[in-house]
Chains A and B, each alone.
Chain A
Amino acid sequence: DVKVTQSSRYLVKRTGEKVFLECVQDMDHENMFWYRQDPGLGLRLIYFSYDVKMKEKGDIPEGYSVSREKKERFSLILESASTNQTSMYLCASSPEAFGYDEQFFGPGTRLTVL
């Protein structure tokens, strides 16, 4: 079974802190994604990566950056956390394909920025 793991289920940070959210997948998938989920807004794509060291902006990249140094790991970075970044963050991965493959999701990290 594909497994996508995220480093924390719950995280509390202070405004201005640098925050790292880690995601690891164990199925050799090419594509990895970061979403944030907010009530009434569904899932919105922050960044995605289709290869090591490659990244593409999603729909809401402002205030975030990403890193993919190894195929299995995709990190989301909040350079200076703000209260409006309080949200549920979901990581996903999918095999190499173009629009066809399902995405496999991790359990999510609920981030609170105080």
Chain B
Amino acid sequence: GIQVEQSPPDLILQEGANSTLRCNFSDSVNNLQWFHQNPWGQLINLFYIPSGTKQNGRLSATTVATERYSLLYISSSQTTDSGVYFCAVNTDKLIFGTGTRLQVFP
């Protein structure tokens, strides 16, 4: 089956710093999504991004499907950005990556 790997596994930032999270996948997929799981366990949809670049406030994502990777950019990080970031690729179901755990300190 498709393998989805995320890096780095852990990331510690000071408030205001920028970061880039990466998602690599092993085969062609229909689509890709990014999620943020907050410290209370809730999964929040960030981006639905088959290809190209999308932006939403301080967050943006780029997927290069032909090269089988996606990037999530977080600019001017805030403590509320803390949590785990998952990418998930769509075949006929979502297959999740292992996640990047982000901690943002004031």
**Is A bound to B?**
no
Q: Which A residues fall within an 8 A CB radius of B?
A: none
